[in-house]
Structure 1
Amino acid sequence: MELNEPRELGARAAEVLALAAEVAAADGVEALSEQTLLDVRSPVRSVRHVLAEAGGELLGYAQVQPGDPASAELAVRPSRRRAGVGRALLDAVRVEPVSVWAHGDLPAARTLARAAGMEAVRELRRMARPLAAVRDEAASDAATDAADADDHDDAVPDARSRPAGPAPAGVVVETFRPGRDEEDWVRLNARAFAAHPEQGRMTVADLRAREAEDWFDPTVLWLARPGPGAPAVASMWVKVVPGEDAGEIYALAVDPGAQGRGLGGHLTRLALAEMAARGLRTATLYVEGDNVAARRTYEREGFVCVATDVQYR
């Protein structure tokens, strides 16, 4: 086995993506995060690639993303495990100060981390809730509205808007406009996630790379403004992968100066109502393990923890 560090993956990107898909199918959890896969498929940043190979076969892959400290992820072909590939990749990425993600914190990852003398330093929790109750509430509200309309000869409101309720006073909620709102969203995101090691560093190029993905839908990316044309003070981004029956609360951002106004709760209910209206069965999201306030907010909306990603150092 040999380790190679190409400056760019080029034609080898397809091999890495195939390896990642094979690992995810075998483990039931993605070994490489969305950002890592984007840096393979549509690179816009300078990252470090490490390939483990033998006889022309790709045995494993690792990527190091810049930061302070840097962050790394690795994946080993299932048929080539327990042969030192994972440890070789781990040693290769640790030539610099780095934190390494273990998605799903599987037993093999914990064993590898312990053998390397690493300790858990961060948790990212995946939370989920069913959407059936949201659909039932919308149907009940629609029936009530229909009855009221019969009595008052009024138009029936869109049922999907009822669970979210009205926006906080003085706030206008609009959908994202590709080609016009990128700078505004990135500015808001940077303020909302100033202390976040990954989310707060997103650039316009990072955003546009996601806009090029087949799942991107600007109608489920909302911006809350204090008035038409004003800079956004909050946003909600929902990710729905074509063919899947779950939707993800992908990014919820509230400007520090606009916190305490109920924007996060309103946008969360808006997202849940829209996902339910589209027939999705489950809503998911990721939240930092030590963000107790956010976890409690989501728990109040019916979310429970279903998996944990752990970062080791």
Structure 2
Amino acid sequence: MTVRAVERLSASETDQVLALAAAAERADHVYPLSEDVVLRVRGSSGRHLLAHEADGSLSGYAFVEDGAGELFVGPGARRRGHGSALLEAAGEGPLRFWAHGDEPGAKAFAVRNGFERVRVLWQMRRSLEAPLPDAPLPPGVTIRHFRPGSDEQAWLGVNSRAFADHPEQGRWTLDDLRLREDEPWFDPAGFLLAVDIEDTLLGFHWTKVHPATGDDPALGETYVLGVDPGGHRRGLGVALEVEGLRFLAAEGLTTAMLYVDEDNEAAVALYRRLGFEIHKADVMYQRS
């Protein structure tokens, strides 16, 4: 087995990584890569680590950038040192890795290699067939759709302020936003903006629709919900969430999902009040 590092994957390598990830999902019932890493696999530069068997077939993959990344090994190559080889290739020093699904095997691997559990990201779900509470918009606030080519800079400003303390979301750039605008799932009609009478952006609710896969029904996601702390209107966050869920229900979806950090007590409390419950967890492990 050998590990090779490349800055950008070829079309063939991209197909191999995504095929191996799909095989891991079938075996583990959880997809091993986040959306952000999938976007990197499809065409962005970065540090891609590829583990190959002697016959040249792909057996494992890792992506590492700025001391953080994701790593997985294909179902047929586990317990043979492939994960440790990828970790060694990632380099020494501080490193953080996401483990999707909070699996015992990932925990054992992390502990064995000197990592500790430092962050938990919950996926929460609720039925869209259950009633939604009344949550009126604050006075003077209206909802309109995102306008591609016009609203990017205003949205980036609100997003960076709303998520100033978030390790990923608050660092989004125009390239990050446009990458998602180019995705097949992007729908400006489901990207709801709360504005005042002067069309100043106050907050947003961005939705995403996941097609049905395997045993999972089609899912409507609260992709990002944010309110500008500088122009905060009482109750705007709840009102935006309800507006977004109503949009997803009107699209014919029956289940909604979202991601939230376990320790974000205010957000967790809001989502629980709206009927969301924990469905699964992703865990970040860190080596100091």
- TM range, smaller chain: over 0.9
* Pairwise CA RMSD: 1.5
Q: SS in structure 2 opposite 1:8? A: coil
TM-superposed CA distance for 1:164, in Å, is 5.4
TM-superposed CA distance for 1:17, in Å, is 1.4
1:188 equivalenced with 2:185 (yes/no)? no
Q: Retained in 2: the 8 A contact 1:72–1:93?
A: no
Alignment of 1:43-192 (within 5 A): 43=44, 46-54=45-53, 55-66=55-66, 70-134=67-131, 165-192=135-162
Q: Retained in 1: the 8 A contact 2:211–2:219?
A: no
Normalising by structure 2, what TM-score? 0.93
TM-superposed CA distance for 1:247, in Å, is 0.6
Q: In structure 2, do the counterparts of structure 1 residues 124 and 256 end up closer, same or farther at CA, with 3 Å as the change threshold?
A: same
**Any gaps of 5 or more consecutive residues in structure 2?**
none
TM-superposed CA distance for 1:195, in Å, is 0.9
Q: Retained in 2: the 8 A contact 1:189–1:200?
A: yes
What do residues 53-111 of structure 1 show as CA deviations (whole Å, max 9, x unaligned)?
Answer: 12211110000122xxx211011110111111112112222424211111111111011
Alignment match, 1:148: none
Match of 1:248 among 206, 212, 221: 221
Alignment match, 2:22: 21
1:223 equivalenced with 2:224 (yes/no)? no
TM-superposed CA distance for 1:194, in Å, is 0.9
State the alpha-carbon separation in 2 of the partners of residues 13 and 123 from structure 1.
28
- Opposite residue 18 of structure 1, the aligned amino acid is A
State the alpha-carbon separation in 2 of the partners of residues 87 and 189 from structure 1.
37
- Opposite residue 239 of structure 1, the aligned amino acid is K
What do residues 112-165 of structure 1 show as CA deviations (whole Å, max 9, x unaligned)?
Answer: 01111211011111111111113xx6xxxxxxxxxxxxxxxxxxxxxxxxx655
Q: Retained in 2: the 8 A contact 1:164–1:273?
A: no
Alignment match, 1:204: 174
Higher strand share: 2
State the alpha-carbon separation in 1 of the partners of residues 114 and 80 from structure 2.
19
State the alpha-carbon separation in 2 of the partners of residues 94 and 226 from structure 1.
49
Q: Retained in 1: the 8 A contact 2:46–2:64?
A: yes
TM-superposed CA distance for 1:14, in Å, is 1.5
Q: SS in structure 1 opposite 2:206? A: strand
State the alpha-carbon separation in 1 of the partners of residues 65 and 185 from structure 2.
24
Q: SS in structure 2 opposite 1:280? A: coil
Please identify, of 252-261 and 109-118, the stretch whose mean Cα deviation from structure 2 is larger.
Answer: 252-261
State the alpha-carbon separation in 1 of the partners of residues 135 and 94 from structure 2.
47
Q: SS in structure 2 opposite 1:74? A: strand
- Opposite residue 156 of structure 2, the aligned amino acid is V
TM-superposed CA distance for 1:228, in Å, is 4.1
Aligned length: 280
Normalising by structure 1, what TM-score? 0.86
Alignment match, 1:267: 240
State the alpha-carbon separation in 2 of the partners of residues 94 and 111 from structure 1.
20
- Opposite residue 35 of structure 2, the aligned amino acid is E
What do residues 162-205 of structure 1 show as CA deviations (whole Å, max 9, x unaligned)?
Answer: x6554210112110011111111111111111111111111111
TM-superposed CA distance for 1:47, in Å, is 2.0
- Opposite residue 276 of structure 2, the aligned amino acid is F
Structure possessing the higher radius of gyration over alpha carbons: 1
The share of aligned pairs that are identical, in percent, is 47
Alignment match, 1:157: none
- Opposite residue 205 of structure 2, the aligned amino acid is M
State the alpha-carbon separation in 1 of the partners of residues 208 and 247 from structure 2.
12
**Any gaps of 5 or more consecutive residues in structure 1?**
138-162
Alignment match, 2:8: 8
